Structure 1
Amino acid sequence: MKRRTVEDVMTTEVVTVAEDTPFAEIADALAEHRIGAVPVVDDGGRVAGVVTEADLLRKEEFKPDDTGERPLRGRHRHHALAKARAVDARGLMSAPAVTVRPEATVAQAARLLASRGFKAAPVVDESGALRGIVARRDLLTVFHRSDDDIRDEIVYDVLVSRLWQDPSEVHVEVHEGVVRLSGRMELKSLVPIVVRMTAATEGVVDVVNDLAYEHDDTRPTAYPRA
C-alpha cells in the first residue's frame, strides 16, 4: 500500500531570509508573497529558525500605550518581549525550528502540524538543509482521488494482495471518499482488520462496515474435560 510522503506534496520554491535580514524586509516578504511564515537559513543553507506573522506582531503588542506605560506582562511573556525588541530575523525567529523530513508520510506531517498548531513546517534533509516547505493545504491533496481509484486500491491491494480475500465475496462501494464494505468474510477476526486497512487508504474519508462473517474465531474453544 503506497503512502505519499512529504516530498510528494511539498513546495520546493521557498521564500527564505538570512539571520541578519531586517524587520522591515521580513514584513515586506510576508506581505508580498502572502505567506504567514518564513524560514531563516544560515550561511550553509541550514534552517536556523522560523519567523511568523505573530513574531512580527509582538512589536505592536508591546508598544507603549497613550500614557507611556507598557502593558502588563506575565511570567510567560519574557520571550515575547524579547521578540518585540528584536530588529532582525536572528532576534525574531523561533529556534530551533520544528521541521519535518521529506520521507515522512503525509499522516506524520499532519499530526506534527496539528499537535503544534502550525500551518506549515520547513522540510529539511539529514544535514538540516532546506528542501522545501509543507503546508496544511499541501497535505489535503491526499483526498484529491477519484472514487474509482480508491476502490481499486482497496480491492486489489487490501483485499487481494495483502489479505488474500476473494473480491467477489466482499463488495466495496465508494462515494465521495466514503467507503461502504458489505458481503461476507470467512472469519470474524478479519472484519476489523479489513476496516482498519480500508480506513488507512489514502483519500478515504470514512468507512461504513456492513460486513458479515461465516465463523466466529474470536470466541474461546471449549475443550472436553479429561
Structure 2
Amino acid sequence: MKNWHVDDVMTTAVVTVAEDTPYRTVVDLLIRHRLSAVPVVDDFERVTGVVSEADLLRKIEYAGDEKPRLFEGRRRRGDRVKADARTAADLMSSPPVIAPNGTPIAAAARLMDRENVKRLPVVDDLGRLVGIVSRGDLLKVHLRSDDDILHDVRDGILRVYLLDDVPRVEVTVQDGLVTLKGRVDRWSSADIAKRLTRQIAGVVGVEDKLEYDYDDSNVLGTGIAYGVA
C-alpha cells in the first residue's frame, strides 16, 4: 500500500522571487501567472519567506494613512510596515511555514489548518525549495480510481495483515466508499482492516459489514494500534 506524501501531489515548477525583487515586479508575477502567493528564496534556493496577495494589498489598505492609531496592535503595526515596503524582503511573511519533502499529505493538511495557510513550500534536507503544495493539490488523492483503491485494500491490507481471512472477505469500492463484507477470525482483525482502509489515499469512507468468530476486544483493549500505523 502506497503512503502518499506531498512529493506525490506538489507542483515542481515554482515561480519564485528574490529578496530584493521590487514590489511591482512581485505584483506582475502574481497576476501574470494567476498566483495568490510566491515563495521568496535566497541565492542558495532556500526559502526565507512567502509574499501573498494580502501582503501586497497593505499598500492599498493603508494608502494615505500616515499616522498610527492609538493603542494599535502588533499585527496592525506589522501590516502598516508592509504598506511602505519596496521589496519582497520587506513584504514577506517570515519565517515561512514549510513542509519537508516526504511529509504525509494528512500531516500537510493539518499543518495548513493549524497555521491558516493555503499553500506550503516543500523543501529538501538543506531547506532548498523543491516544490509547492496547495490545498487543491492535497485533494488530488481523491481523483484516484476505485480500482486503485481496491488494489490497495486487497494487496496492501488484507494480504498483509489478514492473510488467513482473505477468502472470506469481500471488498467493493464505489466512488471512494469502501465496503468490507464477510467474516474474519477475530474482532481485532476486523478492526485492523477498518482502521487501515480509512488511511488509504482517496478513501471517502468505510462501510464496515465484517463479522467475526471471536471477540478479543476485552483482551486487547479498545483503541490499541496492534503495532500498525
When normalised by structure 2's length, the TM-score is 0.88
CA distance in 1, matches of 2:138, 2:20: 32
Task: Give the corresponding residue for 2:73.
Answer: 75
Q: Which residue of 2 aligns with 1:118?
A: 117
Q: Which residue of 2 aligns with 1:162?
A: 161
**Percent identical across equivalent pairs?**
47
More displaced 10-residue stretch of structure 1: 70-79 or 154-163? 70-79
Using the TM superposition, give the Cα deviation of residue 64 of structure 1 relative to its aligned residue in structure 2, in angstroms.
2.9
Closer, same or farther: CA 73–209 of 1 in aligned 2, 3 Å? farther
Cα distance in 1 for partners of 2:106, 2:201 equals 9
Answer 1 or 2: which has greater helix percent: 2
Q: What is aligned with 1:10?
A: 10
Instruction: Quote the offset at 1:73 in angstroms.
Output: 6.9
Structure 1 residues 109 and 164: alpha-carbon distance in aligned structure 2, compared to 1, 3 A threshold: same
Do structure 1's residue 128 and structure 2's residue 127 form an aligned pair? yes
- The Cα RMSD (Å) is 1.8
The corresponding residue for 2:202 is 203
Distance 1:209 1:88 in 2: 56
| 1:164 Cα deviation from its structure 2 partner | 2.2
4+ runs deviating over 4 angstroms: 68-73
> What are the residue-to-residue correspondences of 1:1-226 with 2, within 5 Å?
1-64=1-64, 74-76=72-74, 77-219=76-218
Task: Give the counterpart letter for 1:173 in structure 2.
Answer: T
Unaligned runs of 5+ in 2: 220-229
Calculate the TM-score normalised by the size of structure 1. 0.89
Letter in 1 for 2:7: E
Q: 1:70 to 1:124 in 2, by over 3 A?
A: same
Question: Contact 1:37/1:50 (CA < 8 Å) preserved in 2?
Answer: yes
Q: Is the 8 A contact 1:187 1:216 kept in 2?
A: yes
The structure having more radius of gyration, on CA atoms, is: 1
Q: Would you say the 8 A contact 2:183–2:211 is kept in 1? A: yes
- Aligned equivalents of 2:14, 2:56: Cα separation in 1: 19
Tell me by how many angstroms 1:74 deviates. 3.3
Q: Quick one: distance in 1 between partners of 2:84 and 2:70? A: 16
Change in 2 beyond 3 A, CA 1:216/1:162: closer
CA contact (8 A) 1:62 1:70 kept: no
